[in-house]
A and B are shown apart, each in its own frame.
Chain A
């Protein structure tokens, strides 16, 4: 239902306000290693508008974290461009670069490694506040830090300011990491598997906190996860991109993609999600893959990298050429896939 509505409302770029905040244009991250060239990210295009939620889903090692770090400007892609407000970030200087640097923040996967164990929560939050002039004095920084802790549901915030990270649980640490990202009032947060190291019981409340931030502050999210079920929950109002060994294989509105998966890999992932009802799970038909082996990044299969595992594999087509990400029926490859449901599959594209 939302799929149809959203598509008509959010027709891309016809309106200036819908110009993407951040765009990845065909970015690649190729690393030369002694054993050959590793194509960790191989031509990913993605864009996000202000306040939009985009989820990246894929198996470990598929390049989703690297893509996130490229989006956050922490890695320079070996080719391709990253645009912030329509401008290439590698050309940004001075104030323009600082605006991007503060505008896009990262929340790491492991809250045990992402917070300096030597600093109190208050000190961790105060440093960026003071550095970037969000607080003029240390007492102002403390007040603001307490507000931020309230914002991420760490209450009573006063109790947390003087705590060291080792006195906090994983979930609490992750909230501190989110609060730290919020210190510089970013417009977009790259959240790299933010709940995977957190107790299962805490996950939903952490996700809800982030969703509330998106609603209240208008912060956009690039949510990276290996768990399609989480992506389905988090990105229900946004989009989901499915990655497979360095490439985007399917990209579309979350509701659309979940209800109507096109790529065989997405179908396999969706069919593997266990349902809350064990009866339902048992009756679910699993998409059978031809092989369970994830290809090595050093020796990628020819053509469509998914072809050795794909149940819809067609000889003479799939192993020959690389399928482009495009809307079914369209012949144009999608660079900025906005709200079009795009798939990189020869068989699906042929219809």
Chain B
């Protein structure tokens, strides 16, 4: 059964095969320490951000005399400049971050995979045009461009922010996908599919892309990481209106209010930083383990 190891444990077939492949991937993930921690971390933050708010009420009441308290049994992570509970803000502040990150990663991956696969497979003018657009976007420094855009577009909708980040984020992944497709399209089984006249759509999406599932999953995770950095950066610089409650907003407020200079503000300013860092770390560990699972060359002997 040594042969089974040489194959990525995923298939394009819907139904049972996919479920089994997914199960095998999860099993392989938790067998590695990094993968287990990463998976645990990501699941933890998902629960915290989406289930947590049902159990923890967001503390909006100003409590005079309780500003800038260090973590205690009453306030698990201390209080902010108005004496509000930081822990409840952390619980409620993850949702938007994760939604923006997921939206961005989904759109980025979808654009990059379809354009990259088609450009690589079709070549010709389509390839030239897509590459030219990608190069233009790649040459413009992303963050400064976002700063400029943020002043024009009112980014009070988190999904809109995700779309904007994705619109700028796809070229790098698109180029990577394209180059992989360029090598895959030379395979004999692609030639056989062309000979059987199976059609471009089938060849690209059924024959070529399935063997890149692993790579795409890793890119998706990396896309999330990148999106989190970008949006928190934008919020921190105050370029995205401070509506709602999220870790970026917390960090920005804590910074602006000077929590860093007050001893009791430690819990307040550190909590969002640690939350963001831990989420990022979990995603990075997950991506690394996925890479090991999907890339046989990186897999340790088992």
**Contacts from A to B (Cβ < 8 Å):** 72-74, 98, 101-102, 105-106, 108, 110, 113-120, 123, 127-128, 131-132, 164, 166-167, 177, 180-181, 183-184
Contacts and interface: CB of A to CB of B under 8 A. Distances in A.
B195 interface: yes
**Residue from B13, B188, B197, B199 with most neighbouring chain A CB atoms (10 Å):** B188
Contacts of B207: 116, 118-119
Contacts of A119: 11-13, 206-207, 210
Contact of A101 (B187, B197, B210): B197
A125 to B, nearest CB: 10
30 contacts: A72-B195, A73-B195, A74-B194, A101-B197, A102-B196, A105-B196, A106-B192, A108-B188, A108-B191, A113-B188, A115-B189, A116-B189, A118-B8, A118-B207, A119-B11, A119-B12, A119-B13, A119-B206, A120-B13, A123-B13, A127-B193, A127-B196, A127-B206, A128-B196, A128-B198, A131-B197, A131-B202, A166-B4, A166-B7, A184-B196
A127 B202 contact: yes
Contacts of B199: 131
Interface string B1-39: 001101110011100010000000000000000000000
B252 interface: no
Interface in B193-232: 193-199, 202, 206-207, 210-211
Contacts of A120: 13, 17
Nearest to A115: B189
Contact of A105 (B3, B17, B195, B206): B195
Interface of B: 3-4, 6-8, 11-13, 17, 187-189, 191-199, 202, 206-207, 210-211
B162 to A, nearest CB: 31
A57 B81 CA distance: 87
Nearest to A69: B191
A182 B189 CA distance: 15
Nearest to A122: B13
Contacts of B12: 118-119
Contacts of A131: 196-199, 202
B195 A98 contact: no
A310 B239 CA distance: 81
A72 B194 CA distance: 11
A117 B131 CA distance: 30
A143 to B, nearest CB: 19
B186 to A, nearest CB: 10
Contacts of B198: 127-128, 131
A166 B17 CA distance: 16
Nearest to B192: A114
Given A119-B12, A166-B3, A114 B196 contact: no
